[in-house]
Structure formats: structure tokens, C-alpha cells
């Protein structure tokens, strides 16, 4: 009987220890789940903060690029007051390089004769020989003439085949995009 009593005590003691171990295991599992949840929350917060930081850094880069460009073109405007042709050449060559474009042209309205209103090419950068021959564009003709009429910026990724080609020592290629910006001050359009 003593043996049964000892066996029962040992059995209940083992069961008690198993129950305590199970409770401790459950508490530990809950703590681990809470810790994992907290780590996941912190991870999400860190990713969010990192994305916000990248956005701010990109905005800073853009702001710095804009301010540097503003300073560059302010200097160009200040130092080229003697000739509209020199000013246009200087603005265009620097603008094309600054924005990483392949070509550029500045057309201004020629209104010397009211019966012969047209756009005149006054500056070009890396134009092909065929485009260099096109120094006069009638108002409303071609994409340049339409930009003048519509008086708004036009960005295009789809345009007529062979509208413009980019030539280099390596050959010819078509541009991927075109940007037309009317030259205007307030509501007056100059080109």
C-alpha cells in the first residue's frame, strides 16, 4: 500500500510538473508571439520610415537640381543681354545638357509682317541637316506650330514616324519622347 501511495504521489507530482511545464510553455509561446508581433510592427514602421526618408531624399535631390538649374539659367540670362540669338543659343545648349536631352530648338514668332506670321528657328542643338533647313514653320503647322497655337506644354511619347531623327557618329535613331514648351510670359506667347 505504501508503494501505491508513493506511486500515486509520484504520478500526481509528475502530472503537476507537466501541467506547470505546459503552462510555462504556453506563457513562453504567447510571449514569443507577442515579441514576433512587436518585431513585425517595428519592421513595418522601419520600412515606412525608410520609404519616407527615401522620398524626402529624392525631393531634396530634385529641389537641389532645380535650384542649381535656376542659378545656372539666371547667370546665363544676366550674362547674355546683348543679343537674343546669343541668349537663345546659350540657354538652349545649357538646357539640353542640363536635362539630358539629345536635341533642342527654339522657335520665336516672327511678326515683322502681319500678313506673314510664322515661327523662326533662332537656336538649335544637335539638329540633323534636314531639320536645320527647317528654319521657318508656319503657325499651326507641324507639332511646333500647333504648340504655338494651343499655348500649352505638350509631352509626347507617340508621334509620327521619322518626325525627328537623332544623328550621331554611330548612326540615326528616333527619339523616345518629345517635349514642346511654348515661350510665354503671362498670356503673351513669343514662340
Q: In three state form, how does the secondary structure of 58-126 look?
A: HHHHHHHHHHHHHHHHHHHHHHCCCCHHHHHHHHHHHHHHHHCCCCEEEEEEECCCCCCCEEEEEEEEC
Residues in the chain: 191
132 vs 189, residue with greater confidence: 189
Contact 110, 120 (CB under 8 A): yes
Percent of the chain with pLDDT over 70: 91
pLDDT at position 129 over 60:
no
Calculate Rg over the CA atoms of the chain: 36
Residue 190's closest CA among 69, 84, 71? 84
What's the pTM? 0.68
Neighbouring CB atoms inside 10 A of 81's CB total: 9
pLDDT at position 168 over 70:
no
Domain ranges of the chain: 1-79, 102-189
- Average pLDDT, stretch 54-82? 92
Reported as a single tens digit per residue, the pLDDT across 87-119 is 889 989 998 898 888 888 888 888 888 788 888
pLDDT at position 80 over 90:
no
Residue 131: which pLDDT band, with cuts at 50, 70 and 90?
A: low
pLDDT at 125: 82
Amino acid at each position: 500500500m505504501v508503494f501505491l501511495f508513493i506511486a500515486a504521489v509520484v504520478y500526481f507530482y509528475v502530472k503537476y510538473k507537466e501541467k506547470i511545464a505546459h503552462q510555462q510553455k504556453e506563457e513562453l509561446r504567447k510571449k514569443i508571439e507577442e515579441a514576433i508581433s512587436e518585431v513585425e510592427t517595428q519592421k513595418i514602421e522601419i520600412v515606412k520610415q525608410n520609404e519616407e526618408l527615401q522620398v524626402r531624399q529624392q525631393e531634396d535631390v530634385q529641389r537641389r537640381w532645380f535650384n542649381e538649374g535656376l542659378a545656372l539659367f539666371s547667370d546665363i540670362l544676366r550674362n547674355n543681354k546683348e543679343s537674343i540669338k546669343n541668349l537663345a543659343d546659350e540657354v538652349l545648349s545649357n538646357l539640353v545638357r542640363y536635362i539630358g536631352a539629345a536635341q533642342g530648338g527654339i522657335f520665336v514668332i516672327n511678326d515683322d509682317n502681319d500678313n506673314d506670321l510664322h515661327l523662326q528657328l533662332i537656336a538649335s542643338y544637335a539638329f540633323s541637316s534636314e531639320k536645320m533647313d527647317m528654319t521657318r514653320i508656319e503657325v499651326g503647322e507641324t507639332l511646333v506650330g500647333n504648340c504655338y497655337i494651343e499655348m500649352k506644354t505638350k509631352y509626347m511619347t507617340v508621334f509620327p514616324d521619322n518626325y525627328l531623327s537623332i544623328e550621331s557618329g554611330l548612326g540615326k535613331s528616333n527619339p523616345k519622347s518629345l517635349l514642346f514648351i511654348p515661350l510665354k510670359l503671362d498670356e503673351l506667347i513669343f514662340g
